[in-house]
Structure 1
Amino acid sequence: MESLNSRSSQATAAVCMSVVFICVGVPLWWKTTEVYRAELPYTEIQALSQSTPLTISAKVEVHATSHAMLRMCKDIFASQDFNKELKFTRTLFTFKINAAPLNNDDTQVFENAKNTEADAVFIFTHDVMMPKISAKNNKLIKISVAEADANQEDIQKSIEIALDILRNDLMHLQYVDDVVGKALAVKLDFPKVREYHMRKTIQPDKGYDLLFTLICPKPGELQASWDIHNAMKLHLYPMLEKLGSYAKFHVESQILYYCDMPVKPQKFDDGHILRFSQLPHVVNPVESRLGAEMSANPTLNFVLYLTEDKYNPLYIERQDRNISSTNTILIPRWGAITMKKTNKTSAQKPRQLELNAEDFMGAFLAQFRSLLGLETNGRENVVFEQSFTEGITDFELDYLMRSRSAENIASSIHTIHSLAKLLEKIQNIVIKDEIARLCYLAVDQINLAKSALARGELNDALTFSNKAFEASETAFFDPTLLELLYFPEDQKFAIYIPLFLPISLPLISSLVNALKIWKENKKQKLE
């Protein structure tokens, strides 16, 4: 009887230990080892990823000098489908069509167009001169139809030309659509021209460094100087001031010596030539000497290379095998290198050369515009007035802001959607409150940017989209997500089995013995 009581006590102790282990130990272990995961706006992120196409708004004022033009403008503009061939964006045009009889002096109309809130202003007028189309005061397009030949067919053709200018020259709808598709990481086949345009255009960033470099490879033969600062003050700074709402730019200049030509040009006619296949071997060694790490911002390099006497004159071969008329190598998203021929003016060594930087600033600005994604309009019978003082017109600035806003929105949506999918898939990654805050901030700013872009408020759209882009990128690349704070399931077994096995086996055997004792006691009571 005493032995039976002792065994019963052992069974009771085993059950109590098992209960304590299961009800207290396991929950305590579970709580102390659980991964902290702040709540993320998964529903809102999923809704954003399915909210294409992106809506873009534009206001257009149309002035017609005759009732026939007025009626045709209303009919043709209303029947146009501006969104054909667009996959990721949808443009909503608001047309304000007025009858505006103009006299021979259109000065006041052009002056009023400077202060308009519209994205484009079209004036259709009769002219005793030949038909012509001119873009003046940046956003104003004047289309003149010869008075003697003003029939319905001519008017309709002029209106269709105006719509094509609006779509492809002012708004660049196809380029904006391509940028959004690329930011969403959609695989598309682009024509070569559009693909090259996207490949050379600089990536979104909050700021850029511009580095202007003069290279004198043989200072023992030639020593050169340039007054680059005055040229910048006259030509570059007005353009950068106008681009202030688009991005921040930091400008530096330098003169480098002893930077020899890394490849040997081939003999060609009266001089030498750099073949297209040799150009990559020229750029890489030059880049290593520039020392362009001025900040964390991407750097755009503009290099003027004074060729050595033994290679003068030096030509550059383009990809199509023709000779470059500008002697410039344009490198997508990097900058440009211009080869400058130097003349032997005397036998004295070293020769002194004073360069007029204004002679090259026009080329530098053209290269800068190309890297920004601004294309020079080359339409037949269409004259686009250039902005000589600022280097960029109003409608070009609007296009940059519209394109960058759309790209930022699409890129932010893609980034936080990828982050949300990753965190949903791997449940053991720690999600700190800061990550959640950034995700909520990105979602809010994306919605604000989309609303502003749909209303045509480009400044607000760019501001909100920049904040969304920065928040989404910061969240995605947060260091806490890159640390090894999680383990795959098979590694968990390898870690926890040596911990729980020594404890669980005695408990299991004790519970089995307790069950046997309980059955024996029950059997004895029945007898």
Structure 2
Amino acid sequence: MAIRDIVSNPSLLPVLGLSAETRDQCMKLLASIDPTADLAADPQDRVLAASKEQKQLFALLARLRGQNRDAILRVRETKQSTAEARQEIDRLHLQLQNLYYEQRHLTGEIAACESYDHKYLSLPLTPLDEFLALHPEHQQSDDHELMIARINHEHGEREKLEQARQELLKRKQALIAENNKRKEDLASLDQDLERFIDHALVMTAKNDDQTSPQTASDTMTDPAPRLPPPEKPEAVRTRFKVIAAFWAVIIFLGFPIWWQTTSIYRASLPIPDMIDWADGKTCRPVFPLEIRFETPSLPDAEAQHLLRTTQHTLDDLNEFSAHHLRLKLSSDVPAHPNDVADTALTVRLLPQDDLTSPRSHLHSDTTQLDVFYPPSQIPPPSASNSPLSSFVASSLQSLFTEEKAIIAQVLSDNNVPGASPNSANNQAPSAMLNSLSPDLAESIARRLRRSLKYAETYHLAFSLFTPGSSPSSWDIQAAVHDYISPLLEAFSPISNFTVDTQVQLYATFSPTAPAPEYDDANSAWTLKKDDLSAFINAAEWPLSPSIGSGPTINFILYVPTPSQSPLVVKDSLATSWVIPQWGGVFLLNPTPVDANQPAHLTSDALAPAFMTFSHQLLTLLGAPSTPAPLPLRLQTLTRLRAASLLLSASSTMGSLARLTESLPSIPIPATVATSVSTTLEHLSSACAHLRHGQFQAALASARVAETEAERSFFEKSMVGQMYFPDEHKVAVYLPLLGPIGVPLIVGLLKEVKKLVAGWRERRS
């Protein structure tokens, strides 16, 4: 098969043509210097011909190198875009799997609801035949409507029966009352007869004359009613004292004890201040970056003038006032020691005579930018601008473009309306985002989605998995010390880290995961991009989701078996990928591929994997991709973390304020008030540090504010009261106080009525 049949990319075809032309030119050169050629020719002509052919060959080689370099750059760009697209597809695939899980869960819940043993099935309803005979309009109804109609019919019949029972019960009570009244009348009749007999005997003894039958008849038909004896004053006073004693105990002893034991303590919270912090009225984050200039070869007057012109140019280029650069000379000393800001960048201006235009060099391991300029470009005192000022301003602006865009995205996500209330050119973060290029905006959004939420402590778990019995050991301490520990030391001002390692043998793929496929064209085993989400066998691999209080970042080093090596990702041929907000995976294919797997992995063999893990760690922690020096990227991350924690703590304060106002029955312990006070104090401190450019101190204060805000919002004693409403209190008190309260209230009402009746009699 010809090479042109294999290579079909239009961008590579010129390379093939130029390669063939170069090869022909090499053959011509070799032919011209061949000692066995025609010896009759003039040696001088042969040398000139060889020199000419050599110059043409060098020209072709230079063109070939350029095309080769362009081809390599295009391949790198294609691999990068492919890897990013693969990561996005992996994230979408994980979301799709979550939707599948939720769908299966809902299907199961629906099936459980359909098979639920409802109570209406055990109701003693009217037989179906009798119901249809009474209601023939339901002959054609389905089972559901028919069951509802039968239940409604049974409900109506039982209501009728209940009404009839209540009427019969009332009649029964009336008959019982009438019988009791007649019994009382009969009982009083005996007393009237005895009283009549006694009276008749007395009258007979006094009067000798016989009493006529008519008089006796009148006496029997009109007996005098027998009234109870009047109460003694001592009994009335005793009854009044007893009732008063009961009410005195209830009012002066029982009610205070009840009030003390059931009252809810609500500490005083500064609700208006908390709402103002949540709405962004108290503090709007600003990021003044201090740039220090070192001008060893310029007088102070020229240096100050150059600084002013550069500052004016920067202010004109800046479109987002929340993030601005403040230029100062290294010799300037602040008036107050507390106002010393963190130096974001040091710019050294170095003159160089052989230059025609300025150029810059950014150090790879420090926060220093060297600007080389021709001495003729120093602006005169009367000039308002110069090429040197424009060059320095544009260089500084390009260095912090991504940081400015990320800060605008963070402020926009938290609905911060503007940057600085005192700024005349105050542009909202959303307007700043609209001015970005689509590629940069998409890159920032993708990076924010991949990174984990900020935590004070992260746990790094490095795991070696192999499907066989080897390799069974690795130089993990040396690898972590050489490639991970320097990075963790650089991150120490932002977060703390713990490192755990493990080795798992016979770690096979999940049974549901698709097996790797062999690619004849690349002579390698490949994994499809769609199958990367199922690569992690979470059911069998010992991967702890969390260790301690902070999140865990997992780094998987997988060594395939010799029968499936090399193992790569299909199409891109990549051996590593990042799982958003979880960790990273690296496929270590030993080279050359041996029949037997090495039993021990040395630090040299682990070097590519841990170099990749270090880059993945930066991505997962949210470090920006530019500028290239790590110290500058860590400074940017410090400012981003300080802003995000400040906004998060402010939002938590607003949520707590709205919660306490909407639920007046929940308690607010004193610890919550203390935490809120500490949070507001550190929020004010963080905001002040941001205004003065002290970003390390702002991060420390914002970290404390976030911790205290979360502690106050998730207070256990406060949240538990939300599930005990006032209706439950009434249900508890009525059975206890009803039997006691009713006799006391009735007795008190009777005494009050007697007092009122006596008072009326005295007035009348």
Query: Structure 1-normalised TM-score?
Result: 0.78
1:489 correspondence with 2:726: yes
Distance 1:93 1:150 in 2: 21
Equivalent positions of 1:357-372 (< 5 A) are 357-372=606-621
Deviation at 1:250, TM superposition (A): 1.6
Equivalent positions of 1:154-193 (< 5 A) are 155=388, 158-169=391-402, 172-179=403-410, 182=413, 191-193=441-443
Deviation at 1:149, TM superposition (A): 10
Contact 2:314 2:325 in 1 (8 A): no
**SS at 2:287 equivalent:** strand
Instruction: Please give the per-residue CA displacement for 1:10-65, whole angstroms capped at 9, x wherever unaligned.
Output: 56755664465345533432222112233334344234323241233321234687
Distance 2:560 2:251 in 1: 82
Change (3 A) 1:430 1:287: farther
Question: Structure 2 counterpart of 1:253, which letter?
Answer: T
Change (3 A) 1:122 1:185: closer
**SS at 2:638 equivalent:** helix
Which position in structure 2 is the counterpart of 1:215?
Answer: 465
1:423 correspondence with 2:660: yes
Deviation at 1:338, TM superposition (A): 1.0
Which position in structure 2 is the counterpart of 1:95?
Answer: 327
**SS at 2:536 equivalent:** helix
**SS at 2:733 equivalent:** helix
Equivalent positions of 1:358-507 (< 5 A) are 358-377=607-626, 386=629, 392-393=630-631, 395-484=632-721, 487-507=724-744
Change (3 A) 1:10 1:272: same
Which position in structure 2 is the counterpart of 1:108?
Answer: none
1:277 correspondence with 2:530: yes
Give me the CA root mean square deviation: 3.7
Which position in structure 2 is the counterpart of 1:316?
Answer: 569
Equivalent positions of 1:15-414 (< 5 A) are 17-18=246-247, 21-22=250-251, 24-49=253-278, 50-62=281-293, 72-83=309-320, 90-91=322-323, 93-96=325-328, 118-123=343-348, 128=355, 132-136=359-363, 138-144=366-372, 155=388, 158-169=391-402, 172-179=403-410, 182=413, 191-219=441-469, 222-223=470-471, 225-262=473-510, 263=513, 264-268=515-519, 269-270=521-522, 271-285=524-538, 288-291=541-544, 294-316=547-569, 323=572, 326-343=574-591, 345-347=593-595, 349=596, 351-352=598-599, 354-355=601-602, 356=604, 357-377=606-626, 386=629, 392-393=630-631, 395-414=632-651
Distance 1:156 1:96 in 2: 14
Deviation at 1:429, TM superposition (A): 2.6
Question: Structure 2 counterpart of 1:359, which letter?
Answer: P
Distance 1:175 1:156 in 2: 26
Change (3 A) 1:442 1:98: closer
Greater RCO between the two (CA within 8 Å, min separation 6)?
1
Contact 2:562 2:593 in 1 (8 A): no
Equivalent positions of 1:503-522 (< 5 A) are 503-522=740-759
Deviation at 1:420, TM superposition (A): 3.2
Greater strand percent: which structure? 1
Deviation at 1:281, TM superposition (A): 1.0
Question: Structure 2 counterpart of 1:142, which letter?
Answer: D
**SS at 1:233 equivalent:** helix
Instruction: Please give the per-residue CA displacement for 1:117-145, whole angstroms capped at 9, x wherever unaligned.
Output: 52123456676267644312632233456
Deviation at 1:212, TM superposition (A): 2.0
Distance 1:412 1:121 in 2: 33
Change (3 A) 1:218 1:2: same
Distance 1:254 1:523 in 2: 96
Change (3 A) 1:435 1:149: closer
Which position in structure 1 is the counterpart of 2:150?
Answer: none
Distance 2:292 2:377 in 1: 25
Question: Structure 2 counterpart of 1:167, which letter?
Answer: F
Contact 1:274 1:315 in 2 (8 A): yes
Greater helix percent: which structure? 2
Larger radius of gyration: 2
Contact 1:210 1:249 in 2 (8 A): yes
Contact 2:639 2:699 in 1 (8 A): yes
- Number of aligned positions between the proteins: 483
Distance 1:287 1:71 in 2: 64
Deviation at 1:175, TM superposition (A): 1.7
Contact 2:666 2:719 in 1 (8 A): no
Question: Structure 1 counterpart of 2:460, which letter?
Answer: L
Change (3 A) 1:441 1:462: same
Distance 2:584 2:539 in 1: 11
Question: Structure 1 counterpart of 2:674, which letter?
Answer: R
Contact 2:271 2:657 in 1 (8 A): yes
Distance 2:577 2:273 in 1: 46
Distance 2:504 2:667 in 1: 49
Question: Structure 2 counterpart of 1:96, which letter?
Answer: K
Change (3 A) 1:80 1:10: farther
Contact 1:207 1:249 in 2 (8 A): yes
Distance 1:413 1:518 in 2: 64
Distance 1:250 1:96 in 2: 39
Gaps spanning 5+ residues in structure 1: where?
85-89, 100-115, 378-383, 387-391
